[in-house]
Structure 1
Amino acid sequence: MTVGTADRADRIREQRGWYFYDFACSVYSTSVLTVFVGPYLTSVAKAAADVDGFVHPLGIPVRAGSVFAYAVSVSVVLAVLVMPLAGAVADRTGRKKPLLATSAYLGAAATTGLFFLDGERYLLGAFLLIVANASLAVSMVLYNAYLPQIAEPEERDAVSSRGWAFGYTSGALVLVIDLVLYTGHDSFGVSESEAVRICLASAGLWWGAFTLIPLRRLRDRQVAAAGGEGAVGSGWRQLMGTLRDMRRHPLTLSFLLAYLVYNDGVQTVISQASIYGSEELGLDQTTLITAVLLVQVLAVAGALGMGRLARAYGAKRTILGSLAVWTLILAAAYFLPAGAPVWFYALAAAIGLVLGGSQALSRSLFSHLVPRGKEAEYFSAYEMSDRGLSWLGPLVFGLAYQVTGSYRDAIISLVVFFGLGFALLARVPVRRAVAAVGNPVPDRI
């Protein structure tokens, strides 16, 4: 079934349900990945470190300050194994919703389990972080693959932007609650560590609770080759066919390569910002929470505002402009003085204004470049670089700190992702790319 044969009221109902998965899982991305788990896991790893500041998982010497970055990087190994398979099986069977439910609730359970991260249990924390990140990646493959099915081509920029806006709204709401609990933990009768662990676990509960809404409203589409016994093996064969098929669409691959590069930089900045603020700039947890809250508030306006810019100037030009701003943000971050929260807030405001829009427009632009019937599989490749799950950016950041011991050197090393991503995207003829996969070309793209 295509969006052209769907009743408009049913399509709007699905779109509204679809928005709520961003509302559900974005709390993990903000409260857990961006704010709490990085500094807290680092403190747990430091408690377990030797006198030289190293921990030794599997006998390998690792600087305690790099554990979080390496865990984020390792999570992509698991994600890369599962995401394409999930996408292939979903497209073959048409049953995205059961796979979405499984991956969402596995991630929510792992996130809730972070409540038990204390003492010197850094390996437990790293393991749960890897599981939660990989589960989020799989769920986002399936979630994003609904976009071409529930929105007409001319609607997708707006629908995608609204999804991000819902996500940032929930992130801001929960961060306010987290801020109240963290700053007033004594009055609530809990320690600072317990307050952090409650914030981590509550994000998992939120994720699980609000996932019920999209699961009730989204519907699976029948496909010609319905899945049954052997669907997994067929999924792998279909995946191999998809990789061969993608070579038939070199312009789609060109965009995907550009996206993989620049979004790797975006997601690494998001996931490592709290570490940079706490360890390099000496900012306290309250400052970090309020800075990320500022990002969430401005990201809602940024996502909607950049959606309007895309309607006037096209998604590609708007994304290119955001990448130039990201490069300036990193340069400014390198020179930020320690112990000066006002400048950190200014940087957070700049991030908020470009964050949501660059992500939402990239998702909607890619949806135009996907052949019909291949949505989940193509979005599995797209998702490999989304939500902080790219391995190269966190690995570069972790190695830079491992070698230099400076988070300033680590943060400036990410400039290459934005510069190269800008150059690669600028070379993609997006109108020709849309036509090449047989999709209608919007008036502005």
Structure 2
Amino acid sequence: MYNAYIPELSRSHPKFVQMMDDYKNKKGDFDPNKKHDDDDGKPGKKRKKAKGATELLVKNFGLIQDNLSATGHIWGYSGAVGMVIVSSAVVVMTGFWRILTGIRYALATMGVWWMLFTLPAAIDLRKRAGPPLPGSANLFSYCWFSIKRTFATFAALKHIPNTRNFMMAFFLYTDGISTVAQCGVLFATAEMGMSIPEFLLLCILSPFFAALNMVLVKHLQAKYQIETKSILLCCLYLYTFLSFWGVLGFTKVIGFVYKIELYIFIIFYGGFLAVYESMSRTTFCELVPPGQVSEFFGVYEISDKGSSWIGPLVVGFLFDAYGSVRYAFIYLFLACGLAAYILQYHVDYVQGANDARDKSKTVRMEAIRSKFGVSKKQIQAEIKKRKQLRSSVMSSSGSSAVSGNSAASSMSSASRMSSMSSASTSSSVEDSSGKDSGES
């Protein structure tokens, strides 16, 4: 659920805070509810100035989101390179003749690695302001609440078709791309006859070029103002071509028939892993209704990890039937090709962003949430009951006042960003944190 932090971190970014101040100065005393047109009906200076300031703010907010997402993947894949090198060293020192023992030590090393690098976030990452989850304070009620919200989110997708279509495409291409990684061991050893040292080199090259190419793409995107969706489509077309190249291997002439081809493949395959992951989540950020970031990213992760079993299952059936792992490339070709088609022709990103913030659609989605018992009004009513119950049994020692002051301080801090939400996402941070709290 760390993906859901990106919009909040972007709003709190020092550069964006400064941009907010500049935006307020440029906007001046413009009131969208008042008439600011000239006598001939054309937009007046105030309206033009306010519109330009808003467009600039929204654009810069998107750039900050892209930058944060890209930087996160650069650090992530850089860490992956280090972990692969350390794990490989553990396996080598254990001895290839005791490969299973070496793998056990490597897995233990990964666990320690995760624990060490999770501590900074666990200690320093601030809790998101907002009321507690409704219902009784027990694990079952929290799990049941999360299940209901998940089903409500899936049901609400029919009102925002562009978001739904994007998730369908994401479901397809993320499974196809991950299938190649999952079946890569079998393909490299069974089809290509690679030794363990050769395969370990592939494992190191993949995250290395993922981090390196993410740095390059991040620079090019900022320099030439390339749209995120265009980069994502380029990634999918590249993976479609790479999978087609693998299918050509059935000719026994070209198509990952030689080991050198596989090394070239891993440079491009690994090189765009971080890119497609980063561009996917920042694109999805724009298609999410305000105040529902965590629950929609929960569905996003379900689409990601929930599809990871389909590709290996299909490839497993094909391997049993035909005795070749190369059929994984057929699945990758179909998955990425179909996903690219959906994104190209069935996802309108501008309309999708507008739909996610359209009041009429928001009302209809809220009605669906009410049917599942997870609407904002129902949650707030339950929270109010709990607060009244707490206050009735609390002593007058001032703890209530402290709690109230803390909440007021939290809301005051959050309200600093609310004007940006009106400009770019038509929502306040308070609303976002109120709905999203507790589920990250």
Decide whether the 8 Å contact of 1:282 with 1:338 is kept in 2: no
1:191 counterpart (91, 98, 110): 98
**Matching residue's letter, 1:216:** I
Whole-Å separation in 2 of the counterparts to 1:343 and 1:331: 13
- 1:335-357 CA deviation, whole Å, 9 max, x = no partner? 26788433221111111221110
TM-score, normalised relative to structure 1: 0.62
Corresponding residue of 2:245: 332
1:207, CA displacement in angstroms?
A: 1.4
Task: Tell me the SS of whatever aligns to 1:303.
Answer: helix
Gap change, CA 1:200 and 1:235, over 3 Å in 2: closer
1:238-387 → structure 2 map (5 Å cutoff) = 238-311=149-222, 312-334=225-247, 335=249, 340-386=258-304
Whole-Å separation in 2 of the counterparts to 1:441 and 1:292: 41
2:107 counterpart (194, 200, 203): 200
1:424, CA displacement in angstroms?
A: 0.3
Gap change, CA 1:337 and 1:248, over 3 Å in 2: closer
Whole-Å separation in 1 of the counterparts to 2:88 and 2:304: 27
Task: Tell me the SS of whatever aligns to 2:94.
Answer: coil
- 1:2-53 CA deviation, whole Å, 9 max, x = no partner? xxxxxxxxxxxxxxxxxxxxxxxxxxxxxxxxxxxxxxxxxxxxxxxxxxxx
Whole-Å separation in 2 of the counterparts to 1:362 and 1:355: 11
Whole-Å separation in 2 of the counterparts to 1:393 and 1:416: 11
Whole-Å separation in 2 of the counterparts to 1:309 and 1:302: 10
Q: Which moved more, 1:220-229 or 1:322-331?
A: 220-229
Whole-Å separation in 2 of the counterparts to 1:292 and 1:387: 21
Q: Does 1:162 align with 2:80?
A: no
Percent of residue pairs identical: 25
Whole-Å separation in 2 of the counterparts to 1:288 and 1:326: 21
Whole-Å separation in 2 of the counterparts to 1:283 and 1:387: 29
Decide whether the 8 Å contact of 2:221 with 2:227 is kept in 1: yes
Gap change, CA 1:408 and 1:239, over 3 Å in 2: closer
Corresponding residue of 2:24: none
1:300, CA displacement in angstroms?
A: 0.5
1:37-436 → structure 2 map (5 Å cutoff) = 142-152=1-11, 153-154=61-62, 155-186=64-95, 191-224=98-131, 226-229=133-136, 230-311=141-222, 312-334=225-247, 335=249, 340-386=258-304, 390-427=308-345, 428-436=347-355
User: Could you say which structure has the larger radius of gyration?
Assistant: 2
Corresponding residue of 1:101: none
Gap change, CA 1:240 and 1:408, over 3 Å in 2: closer
Task: Tell me the SS of whatever aligns to 1:414.
Answer: helix
**Matching residue's letter, 2:91:** Y
- 1:139-179 CA deviation, whole Å, 9 max, x = no partner? xxx21121222114321111111111111111111212223
Q: For structure 2, which runs of at least 5 residues remain unmatched after alignment?
A: 12-60, 358-420, 426-440
Gap change, CA 1:298 and 1:373, over 3 Å in 2: same
Q: Does 1:437 align with 2:348?
A: no
Corresponding residue of 1:15: none
Whole-Å separation in 2 of the counterparts to 1:308 and 1:429: 26
1:387, CA displacement in angstroms?
A: 5.5
CA RMSD of aligned residues (A): 2.4
Q: Which moved more, 1:385-394 or 1:316-325?
A: 385-394
**Matching residue's letter, 2:179:** T
1:371, CA displacement in angstroms?
A: 1.3
